[in-house]
Amino acid sequence: MKAIAAYLLPQDIVLGLDAVDREQLFALIGRHMGVYHGLDEHFVAHCLARREQAGSTALGLGVAIPHARIDGLERVRVLYARLRAPIPFAAPDNLPVSHVLALLVPHPATDEHLRLLADAAQMFADRRFREQLSAAADLREVTRLFAG
């Protein structure tokens, strides 16, 4: 099982998310984390935006992995969102992003943070994985892809 699959809960898979830009995306991620995990939605959005100021978390190929260290977080939280329409994300290849894997890790971050980022980058580098993820019709299929 991939490391990300251990943290990706069914309620943290969102297919067809409507966001027009990074700011709105981070606000929606924050809202989701507030509703499902009791986190402060504004603080989550702020931490994601602050990390993004240091450099884009877009990998290219239509993928971004926004991530942040969150004070007081007890465990890693992961959210996968497939956007309804791609958004600009300052990617190295200038392609807009349609796949978003948000990682929230306890502060101070551990080696697990780096392992999750590496795992995600490796998965999304696989064209077949991205194509299957784009075509996935439901949460069960997305979960299976991340576990595979």
- Would you name the residues annotated as active-site residues? 67
DSSP per-residue letters across the chain: --HHHHH--GGGEEEEE--SSHHHHHHHHHHHHHHHH---HHHHHHHHHHHHHTS--EEETTEE--EEEETT--S-EEEEEEEEEEE----TT-PPEEEEEEEEEESSP-HHHHHHHHHHHHHHH-HHHHHHHHH--SHHHHHHHHH-
